[in-house]
Amino acid sequence: MQVIMVDQRKCTGCHQCELWCGSEIASESKEIPFSFFDDPQPVPRVFVEGKPFALQCRHCPDAPCVEACPNGSMTRDENGLVYVNETTCIACWMCVMACPFGVINPSSSLKVAIKCDRCRNMGYPICVEICPTNALQLVEREMPKTLSSKG
């Protein structure tokens, strides 16, 4: 499967990916200037961290959040993308506790776990699309021979 990789030399920390992720995915308004007035506020699923580096869900082949979710709301689609079924999520934050990357956002306003689903319903990840320096790219994941994807 493919994963989003960031070329750290190119990532300037401009936070465009966070902004677009929040408005494209979570905002009712879908346009950045208007999304500022949304209530609850849109929440991004990508986080510009560290020495700037855009990090989002890694869609682990063996995902601890999926194992921890007590009702199957955190699940994996046929393409290997891990996503939250927001209608059944009970906001118990067990997935938050299990995520080794700390990229699941326990949204107390929306009362659901918010994470990157690689824009699975749009077909292309908006963060990769808009990154002004091309620092974000979709690349094929290298899988070690011994590890088969399960789940």
Partner 1 sequence: MRYVIIGGSAAAIRAVEAIRSVDRRSPIDLFSDEPTPLFSRVLLPYYVAEELPKKLLNFRPLTFFEDQEVTSHLGVRITAIDPESRTVTADNGQNFDYDRLLIATGGSPIIPPIPGVEKKGIFPLKTMQDAENIYGSKGKRAVVIGAGSIGVESCISLKRKGMDVTLVEQLGRVLPTVFDDRASAIIRKRMEDLGIKVNTGERAVQFQGNGAVSSMSTEQRDINCDLVVLSIGVNPNVELARAAGLEIGELGGIAVNDRMRTSAAGIFAAGDVVETKDIALDKKSINAIWPCAVEQGYAAGLNMTGKKVLYPGSLRMNSIGNFIGQPAISIGMVSAPTETGGAEAGEAYQEVTRSSKDTYRKLILKGSRIVGATLVGDTQKAGILGVLIKKQIEVGEFVPLLMSHKLNFMEILPLIRRHSDKFSEPEYKELMDTGL
b/e per residue, 9-35, with b = 16+ CB within 10 A?
Answer: eebeeeebbbbbbbbbbbbeeeeeeeb
84 in Cβ contact with 115 (< 8 Å): yes
Continuous segment of H or E residues that includes residue 129: helix 126-130
| Minimum distance from residue 81 beta carbon to ligand SF4 (Å) | 14
Among the listed residues 16, 27, 56, 73, the single contact to ligand SF4 using CB under 6 A: 73
Q: Is 96 in the site for partner 1 (CB under 8 A)?
A: yes
Among the listed residues 36, 49, 62, 90, the single contact to ligand SF4 using CB under 6 A: 90
- Please, which residue, 1 or 90, has the CB nearer to ligand SF4? 90
127 in Cβ contact with 56 (< 8 Å): yes
11 in Cβ contact with 49 (< 8 Å): no
Q: Is 102 in the site for ligand SF4 (CB under 6 A)?
A: no
| Minimum distance from residue 103 beta carbon to partner 1 (Å) | 7
Nearest to 24 by CA among 133, 123, 135, 132: 123
Residue 123 corresponds to which amino acid?
Answer: G
Q: Binding residues for partner 1, how many (CB under 8 A)?
A: 49
Which residues bind to ligand SF4, rule: CB under 6 A?
A: 68-69, 71, 73-74, 84, 89-95, 113
Which residues bind to partner 1, rule: CB under 8 A?
A: 3, 5-9, 47, 49-51, 53, 55, 58-62, 64, 67-72, 88, 90-94, 96-106, 108, 111, 141-144, 147, 150
